[in-house]
Amino acid sequence: MSLDNETGLDPPGIRIRPVSGLVAADYFAAGYFVWAVLIANLAQIGYEEKTMYMAAYDWRLSFQNTEVRDQTLSRIKSNIELMVATNGGKKVVVIPHSMGVLYFLHFMKWVEAPLPMGGGGGSDWCAKHIKAVMNIGAPFLGVPKSVSGLFSIEARDIAIARAFAPGFLDKDVFGLQTFQHLMRMTRTWDSTMSMIPKGGDTIWGGLDWSPEGGSFSCSAKKLKNNSTHNTGHNADSNLGDMKSVNYGRIISFGKDVAEAHSSKIERVDFRDVVKGGKLANSSNCDIWTEYHEMGNGAIKAVADYKIYTAGSILDLLHFVAPKLMARGDAHFSYGIADNLDDPKYEHYKYWSNPLETKLPSAPDMEIYSMYGVGIPTERAYVYKLTTAADCYIPFQIDTSAEGGSEDSCLKGGVFSADGDETVPVLSAGFMCAKGWRGKTRFNPSGIRTYVREYNHAPPANLLEGRGTQSGAHVDIMGNFALIEDIIRVAAGATGQDLGGDRVYSDIFKWSERINLQL
């Protein structure tokens, strides 16, 4: 599954390709549905193989490289044109999920752009062919989980497993060096860089503030409140008595650092530190990572900087993963455009960043952001240095860092916010709630946007399986309320017919704290 670490394409002698057709992603494994429930429900209102197209793509590659290697973007363009032409000119409804949301955002710019960089469809292609884009679990502005994955190949679940069985994953009794294998592999996947948080401190918060801090109780009761009717902004449904959390510090070295005011923290800049030498206990490594070549001084310098916000995360990743980020710089960008008419934004590296690109000129099109809420979702991390094992990765989530109360959003070294267990509300909802709402510089034609939230309710018993009211990132694909919304739009309804926004979180209140020029 690894790609070439220099090109981000196929390594010599190995060729893996995505499956085509509806079976490409109906089930992840036997009995574990992804798109299967939605496909079956669409079939009930008359859709079939010739009127549904599964746009499978190699999710390891950068978005533009899927066109370079497989012509995937061209295939999507041709299939959409064919469906419109063979169905009486009726426009398509596109339903991306997770990273596919960013991929289709890239596609909408690619299809308009002139050859050879783009698809040559012209500025009115989306207006002619797309009725609605119904984004599910959209990581529009990235996810903090991607940072911990690139930094230490961890997320909350792995960190907890590591705490229960110290040494087994780090220095396996069979010598498998699990984390090193995973790090070497995933750092060849350029697509992972599409998920790095976008918008810097303006969006995600800084040393002493974050937009959504203190707006979610991590022990909130999960309510069976998933009706298909518009409930309005039920902003107080999951608030508890808790002190405000500053999520802006995405990585902190030490719980005290995570919670102290910035004026009380001494930091030493790591960016000019010379890397070199080998880490202690790493001379006999079979699986080499870039950490083993950094030297102890450079590793210590990373920890001595103490706090990393979305604005400094990029410098950190360039320092610890230079090969990955060198490739990524050619394909992705994470800033906020000053002037969207600047010709530089015609380059494909900006197309999947909603803060550095314009939506199509398609005033009759609709864009939905559909996602789960009410589940604690990874937002920031407490780290520690470690030198515990041979061939070690020197940074770990500090699972001993706890918030000290049942309502605390710090558990096992991970600060949680409201979201769908993978994507925080900030990333999934902000663009449709504010950044694109009305006519803005990011949405000059005034495409109508709708936020549709689904309050998570876990299955009541084993007979419910993964649940019919789940808001979890993948399980939401079986959520009856979401499926009904999609079927109604696929049958001709508009966002207004659905009742407009349906919001359970606090997003319309705290998004106003983000000072973004619109």
DSSP 417: E
Helix (H) or strand (E) holding 414: strand 414-419
Q: Which of 420, 485, 501, 506 is catalytic?
A: 420
Strand partners of residue 366: 132, 448
10 close to 4: Cβ distance less than 8 angstroms: yes
Cα separation, 138 vs 425, whole angstroms: 9
Long-range CB contacts (within 8 A, 24+) of 343-350: 346/113, 346/117, 347/117, 348/63, 348/64, 348/106, 348/109, 348/110, 348/113, 348/117, 348/118
Other beta carbons within 10 angstroms of residue 167's beta carbon come to: 11
Burial class (CB in 10 A: 0-12, 13-18, 19+), 143: buried
Annotated catalytic residue 398: no
Provide the 8-state DSSP code for 432. I
Q: Are the C-beta atoms of 290 and 188 separated by less than 8 Å?
A: no
Q: What is the DSSP letter of 357?
A: S
* Active site (annotated) includes residue 241: no
Kindly compute the dihedral angle of the four CA atoms of residues 486, 488, 442, 124, in this order, to the nearest 10 degrees: 110
Catalytic option among 98, 252, 282, 352: 98
Instruction: Give me 60's structure tokens.
Output: 């390891």
User: How far apart are the C-alpha atoms of 425 and 386, rounded to whole Å?
Assistant: 32
311 vs 123, 195, 196, 389, CA distance in Å?
A: 33, 15, 11, 32
Of 358, 359, 270, which Cα lies nearest the Cα of 312?
A: 270
Phi/psi at 311 (nearest 5 deg)? -75, -25
Asked whether the beta carbons of 163 and 125 are under 8 A apart, the reply is no
| Alpha carbons 421 and 48: distance in angstroms, whole number | 32
Residue 308 CA to residue 158 CA, distance in Å, equals 21
473 labelled catalytic: yes
- By annotation, the residues acting in catalysis are 98, 420, 473
